[in-house]
Structure 1
């Protein structure tokens, strides 16, 4: 993340870590001794602080985005704790994280980063992300489905969560082995998944809600 931040800030601050000449010897052999740039000897937090200082003179802050939050990663916990220090120090910094619900919940339960529970859990960002998901993923997926696929999925909507393939076939007015062909197609596309023998449920996030809205418009 530090590398990407330095690249983004390169237009405003000098982010090079050029080596400096520390000494020169002339004896039987000619020699040069180089000294590493000071920033290489600092830890991640100190180097980030230097970047904040350089950007602050232009009134520019830093937005950090994290996709696919994983509470099992030690680096994630360490990063979140360091970010808390940036906030306490009054840095111009914001954090936007997204992830599967169970991963986000696990991260929020970690006592080391309990401050995240008090964070705004970005309703506007969720709405924007949902709109982007609808347009870029769900809408194209919907229009690629066959009439049989849509009939299978429409029959699933009558169930709260898990559907029996036998019930789906009955609602479609077809034999179970015929309905199973569409089950296999939809599982292969990642739209639904198996939940035991003869049972299926939606796997693609928000696709069930999208279908309910789409069919209501028809």
Structure 2
């Protein structure tokens, strides 16, 4: 996809503007103003694929420095602890003022650092993640800076996640100026919360990313295409906005294809809108539907197919009749799929697919 477009629908990219998440962003950032160890300094962001978790972390990372925090954003992986330390060192070094010792021959390495945020050979070789992060907290605190850990694609039951969690707890207990935000899929976050070592996160602030309301999307599209000097008739604008169904990834996809298909034109017509929506849906199938369905069992998918018969919410009794199973069976899979973040229950006795166009995809695939 073109890099010079206003829209950034590729996963892992930060869009030109984060639409409709201002309250969420400010809520997380305001927690940085609380005392170390405050509940609002530990946040879990929960959302399905395409709900804008990574984009939100990127936005928070950009704004954290204004709140006095060095942000280390990493994806949960086998080497994330080293990445956290290295990121803090690189991003924090410009803010560290060296203090000259009055003692002749004094070696700054005795305090754990040889210069800036570079560890002495002794610390680098002999000490682990907890000690290094503690030293970084202390050094940055001397320069009025804290550390914000941003962990994307959270996974449970890994040694690094447990080390990170126990380290964070210890540093908070010591009054270090540190905060953490973790983001992940509903199933991953649920597993994290059920891990015996990670249970402290049950006390963390939880933010569930829901679909956006359509009005902020309408305003964003109108302003963006006005800036691109393209006329966008109101009825076609409404059609494009409605097609996103409040899904941040679709917002970017539809906008991207509208910009591409209207290149060289001073106005957007109905053909461009139709083509943009169709292309966005194809990308959605490849990028979101396949990865959403992959970890589900065959029985899970059959349950979703029974729901997809309905274009709107499904009655639990109808799902039970279509599958020819007991009420207990339906309740079991209902709970599994709600925990996975694929379905939701807004009204008693009803279930609804959360991922936009998934029902249409399930109905039409062979």
TM-score relative to the length of structure 2: 0.35
Q: Matches of 1:45 and 1:39 in 2, distance apart? A: 12
SS of 1:70 mapped into structure 2: coil
Q: Matches of 1:86 and 1:77 in 2, distance apart? A: 14
Q: Deviations over 1:125-159 (max 9, x none)?
A: x47x99899686221334549749969xxxxxxxx
CA contact (8 A) 2:254 2:276 kept: no
Q: Matches of 2:284 and 2:135 in 1, distance apart? A: 51
Q: Matches of 1:186 and 1:11 in 2, distance apart? A: 41
1:44 positional shift: 1.4
CA contact (8 A) 2:148 2:178 kept: yes
Q: Matches of 1:185 and 1:39 in 2, distance apart? A: 45
2:117 corresponds in structure 1 to 15
Task: Tell me how large the CA RMSD over aligned residues is.
Answer: 4.3
1:187 corresponds in structure 2 to 285
CA contact (8 A) 1:149 1:186 kept: no
Evaluate the alpha carbon distance shift between residue 189 and residue 112 of structure 1 in structure 2; reply closer, same or farther with a 3 A threshold.
Answer: closer
Q: Matches of 2:135 and 2:275 in 1, distance apart? A: 59
* Equivalent residue in structure 1 for 2:188, among 71, 79, 103: 103
CA contact (8 A) 2:153 2:185 kept: yes
CA contact (8 A) 1:66 1:98 kept: yes
SS of 2:179 mapped into structure 1: strand
TM-score relative to the length of structure 1: 0.56
CA contact (8 A) 2:250 2:284 kept: no
SS of 2:184 mapped into structure 1: coil
1:61 corresponds in structure 2 to 146
Structure 2 unaligned residues grouped into runs of 5+: 1-83, 97-115, 218-243, 258-271, 294-300, 309-341, 343-352, 358-366
SS of 1:82 mapped into structure 2: helix
* Equivalent residue in structure 2 for 1:141, among 253, 260, 263: 253
Aligned residues: 158
CA contact (8 A) 2:247 2:356 kept: no
Q: Matches of 1:189 and 1:49 in 2, distance apart? A: 39
1:86 corresponds in structure 2 to 171
Evaluate the alpha carbon distance shift between residue 12 and residue 186 of structure 1 in structure 2; reply closer, same or farther with a 3 A threshold.
Answer: closer
The answer to whether the aligner puts 1:117 opposite 2:202 as a matched pair is yes
- Within a 5 Å distance, the mapping from 1:168-207 to structure 2 comes to 187-188=285-286, 190-191=288-289, 195-196=301-302, 199=305, 207=355
Q: Matches of 1:64 and 1:94 in 2, distance apart? A: 6
Higher RCO (Cα < 8 Å, 6 or more apart) = 2
Evaluate the alpha carbon distance shift between residue 189 and residue 98 of structure 1 in structure 2; reply closer, same or farther with a 3 A threshold.
Answer: closer
Q: Matches of 2:254 and 2:192 in 1, distance apart? A: 33
Q: Matches of 2:201 and 2:251 in 1, distance apart? A: 33
SS of 1:69 mapped into structure 2: coil
SS of 1:86 mapped into structure 2: helix
Q: Deviations over 1:169-208 (max 9, x none)?
A: xxxxxxxxxxxxx9x8863464577735x9496x8x9652
* Equivalent residue in structure 2 for 1:208, among 328, 340, 356: 356
SS of 1:208 mapped into structure 2: coil
